[in-house]
Chains A and B, each alone.
Chain A
Amino acid sequence: MATTTIAALASEPDPISESEEAPTTPLDRQLVIVAGKGGVGRSTVAAAIAIDAATAGARVLAVDVVSDGGLAAALGPLSSRFDSASGGAIEVLELSTEEALREYIDIYLRMPISPTRIGPIAGIFDYVAAAAPGVREILTIGKIAYEVREDNWDLVVVDGPATGHCVELLAAADNLSDLIGIGPLVEQTKWVAAILRDRAQTAAVVVTQAEELPVSETVMLLERLLTETEVDIAGIVVNKVPLRVDAMGRQALADLVESAAASGDALALASHVALSSSDTATEQLERIDELECVTAIVELSADPVADMRRALEPWQPEERGR
């Protein structure tokens, strides 16, 4: 059986934004971006946040930035946990570059471009966007921030791209204005950046696993988020944490390994594996605990919706301020 513990530590108030309305819980925001290494369970966490908020009555926009159906796939198995009786709803938006460009032209440029031409333009635009830092990202984050600004939803939750790309997404508004100088995109970057740095509105959640490589990548991701963006970090979710044994259990396992190791006994082998994964998990969780910027650490169990709910308490949609 998986264990679930939540350590919600007091959040250090940021002197710059002290005057702003502070969130009461780590996830009490209008825009939550889920970041992390590929394969650690970002989509699951984004889906769990969406379902929990919708069950509490919120209208939720769940955005899949990678646009590979991963978020929809993660919502599927969890959807039985969603109770629409409270009036909540979830809409999924898969935001490819093409889709983001189409939206952008619609909303900002108001240029008549026939739908059949958008595809080729977006395809070529991909190359431009790839070379010019932040162009692709600003289209994506611009659309997301637009949904927040227009107040279309109680919560916009973003299943973000993997590590480095996520930093680029969140830093795009700042980077691009340095690079371009003037133009319609630069005007837009100003209010997008304002929404992202407002900790009353926006937070990032970082997902990881209690293993060496994912934790190392998380340390790097947090460093970059802190230095290259102004987005508040709500907490870290640790997925697939192996069972950790206490000191007595550890001794019992060590004794079993000791007593029967020579005979290749199955119990001894299993004890060795259990001991090793428990020690690795403990060691890696300690590394996560040492990260100072973290306000909450959530270990994901077999019931991610309940885990995220505990992290969200005492969140109520109608009590949330602007």
Chain B
Amino acid sequence: MTGADELIESAQLIIVTGPGGVGKTTLSAALAARAAQLHHRRTLVVTVDPARRLADALGLDEFDDEAVLVPVGAGDGRFWARMVDMERSWDALVADLAPDQETADQLLANRLYRTLTQRFVQSHDYIALDQLVGLSNDDRYDLVVIDTPPSVHALDVLDAPERMLDFFASRLLRWLTAPYRNRLVMTAAKPFLAVAERLLGGPFLAEIADFFWLFSKLQPDFVVRATDVRDRLDDPATRYVVVHTAEAVPAQQARELTAELGARGHDVALRLVNRVLPRQIRDIADDQLDTVANGTAREAIEVVRDQARRQADLVADPDARDNAEDAVQTVSWHAEAVGDLEGLVSLLDGPDAE
């Protein structure tokens, strides 16, 4: 059986994806921590927004964008964790890609620029993946685990570089920046400009055009950059992990996600089913329940048992197992927030003998 250990002892880049609220960030950290502690590798986990307790456990400070070395014990392994600061990363990217300091300063001072860092062309999604470029050439790390940010559609994250490329290829840039060339000859742009001017007013439209004109100066280097990110996502050496819980909706979403990843040529190297209750709980018989004298306690245990049974149905459901080769590892139920390194590493111990 292939599982997390087989994956993390050799992989160099792992992208962790899945529906929201299933524990992606925790398991991303667990993969990197375990690779460092048990497989003696030098690992880095990159995350966007960890829960407080996890951030504390990793020693991450929300105002710090640096990789933090997390102690993993006496072995050769090293484990770093880094929380991406979106605004700071965008500022750094702009400074990096701008043709000259003046363009960079003008962009950073533009009052429309801040909104770009928040939501422009899935910029949130893009910046998480942009980390790939610097990191995969960084020989400080044997393994980099990227935790993808929560998104309405998990695949939006992976599409972000492509969208960035689309944007630079779009007519909008030509149309809006036309005043700097010759707007009058662009008949195709007329309906758009007419609507935009009526809607936004001339001065605001001019301001928007200014911003896009500045931004378009980044184009040559940005296209190279986003292409680079896309290529790394497509690299066969990049491994994909899908996380979900043993509940109907997330499991279904994960199935769809796996299929869509497959359609893009990304095989899912490992599916982690999180928060699976210990299997003995399924077998609690009704007469065993009756031995619990307290009514509410009995009811609470029954709720847990029924949940365990639903999980069993879901895990056993042949549709839920996409194919026989699909590598699946269940992660035992754990108290909501993992607050220490040992807890993280042991999450991926694998199921007890079944």
Chain A interface (Cβ within 8 Å of chain B)? 1, 37-39, 66, 68, 101, 104-105, 109, 111, 113, 117, 120-121, 124-125, 127-128, 130-133, 135, 162, 164-165, 179-186, 211-214, 216, 242-243, 245-246, 248-253, 256, 264-267, 269-271, 273-278, 280
Contacts and interface: CB of A to CB of B under 8 A. Distances in A.
Nearest to A101: B195
A250 B301 CA distance: 11
B33 interface: no
A186 B204 CA distance: 11
Contacts of A213: 21, 51
A249 B295 contact: yes
Contacts of A243: 296, 299-300, 303
B332 to A, nearest CB: 10
Contact of A39 (B20, B175, B288, B297): B20
A176 to B, nearest CB: 9
B292 A256 contact: yes
Nearest to A283: B336
B328 to A, nearest CB: 22
A1 B336 contact: no
A111 B197 CA distance: 12
Contact of B196 (A38, A125, A276): A125
A-B complex: 10 closest residue pairs judged by Cβ atoms? A183-B201, A249-B296, A252-B294, A252-B297, A274-B300, A266-B280, A249-B297, A133-B115, A270-B304, A124-B172
B320 interface: no
Interface in B90-116: 111-112, 115-116
A31 B276 CA distance: 41
Given A248-B296, A249-B295, A253-B300, A131 B150 contact: no
A270 B301 contact: yes
A273 B152 contact: no
Interface string B275-305: 0011011011000100111111101110111
Contact of B194 (A111, A248, A267): A111
B297 A267 contact: no
A101 B198 CA distance: 12
Nearest to A1: B299
Contacts of B277: 269-270, 273
Interface of B: 19-21, 51-53, 111-112, 115-116, 118-121, 150, 152, 167, 170-172, 175-176, 191-192, 194-196, 198-201, 203-204, 208, 211-212, 277-278, 280-281, 283-284, 288, 291-297, 299-301, 303-305, 308, 333, 335-337
Contact of A212 (B194, B333, B336): B336
Nearest to B288: A267
Nearest to A127: B172
Contact of B204 (A121, A132, A246, A264): A132
Given A128-B200, A243-B303, 11 more contacts: A104-B199, A130-B116, A131-B112, A183-B199, A184-B201, A243-B300, A245-B296, A245-B297, A245-B300, A250-B297, A267-B291
B116 A131 contact: yes
A269 B200 contact: no
Given A66-B152, A242-B303, A111 B195 contact: yes
B138 to A, nearest CB: 30
Contacts of A130: 115-116, 119-121
Given A249-B297, A274-B301, A179 B204 contact: yes
A127 B175 CA distance: 12
Given A130-B121, A249-B296, A181 B204 contact: yes
Nearest to B303: A243
Contacts of B333: 273
Nearest to A168: B119
B301 A271 contact: yes
B294 A135 contact: no
A273 B199 contact: no
Contacts of A270: 277, 281, 284, 301, 304-305, 308
26 contacts: A68-B152, A113-B195, A128-B172, A128-B196, A128-B200, A179-B111, A180-B203, A181-B201, A181-B203, A183-B199, A183-B200, A184-B199, A186-B201, A212-B337, A249-B294, A252-B293, A253-B294, A253-B300, A265-B280, A266-B283, A270-B277, A270-B304, A271-B297, A273-B281, A274-B303, A277-B304
Given A130-B119, A180-B201, A181-B203, A267 B301 contact: yes
